[in-house]
């Protein structure tokens, strides 16, 4: 499953889908996105509108047998730590986690993460895990990492890998530099020069 920061924090959906492994391609930016929700005691909850929105649904931890209170979206963001222990605690079952801090800009060498991301995804596949590959928006970093795995480890062509992801996710790889890095590494297979 490929997604965004919101997907990575929607605990109910993660449990429903049985997601038990996480590849976070934007650890530092995810931490920065959640930082405003971590206010000192007594602070007012961050909210742009009054009342519930459609996006609040699903942002709560595993419900304990004693019926503990559910957390809303902002509360989950205030608690998010982006590591294996946090996901294991919040979901109530064993998880695997790999995170790295990639920048979504034209000068960033995303290809430096292809090997570690592929190794993690290969291990998760061998263990039968369901993985969420995410960044902040779910468009560039997570897609580049997943395409690298599909091409490098599952031997898909670059075109086929991008096509299967875009059919499920929509517009992906708007960062032309990341696309160029994928073409440099995996583009020859599409032309049969492998």
Active centre residues (catalytic):
135
Q: Let me know the angle formed at the C-alpha of 171 by 9 and 167, rounded to the nearest 5 degrees.
A: 90
Location of structure tokens 């889908």: 17
For 189, the token pair is 């297979």
The DSSP code sequence of 134-186 is: E-SSSSSHHHHHHHHHHHHTS---HHHHHHHHHHHHSS----HHHHHHHHHHH
Q: How far apart are the first and last CA of the chain?
A: 28
């Amino acid at each position: 499953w490929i997604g965004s920061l919101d997907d990575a924090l929607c605990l109910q959906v993660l449990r429903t889908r049985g997601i038990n492994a996480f590849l976070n391609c934007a650890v530092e930016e995810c931490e920065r996105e959640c930082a405003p929700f971590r206010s000192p005691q007594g602070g007012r909850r961050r909210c742009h509108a009054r009342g519930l929105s459609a996006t609040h649904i699903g942002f709560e931890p595993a419900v304990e047998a004693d019926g503990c209170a559910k957390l809303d979206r902002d509360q989950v963001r205030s608690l998010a730590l982006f590591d294996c222990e946090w996901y294991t605690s919040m979901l109530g079952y064993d998880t695997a986690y790999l995170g790295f801090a990639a920048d979504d800009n034209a000068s960033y060498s995303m290809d430096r993460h292809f090997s570690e991301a592929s190794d993690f995804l290969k291990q998760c596949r061998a263990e039968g895990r369901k993985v969420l590959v995410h960044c902040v928006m779910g468009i560039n970093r997570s897609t580049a990492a997943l395409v690298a795995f599909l091409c490098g480890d599952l031997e898909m062509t670059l075109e086929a890998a991008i096509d299967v992801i875009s059919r499920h996710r929509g517009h992906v790889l708007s960062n032309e530099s990341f696309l160029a890095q994928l073409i440099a590494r995996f583009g020859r297979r599409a032309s049969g020069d492998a």
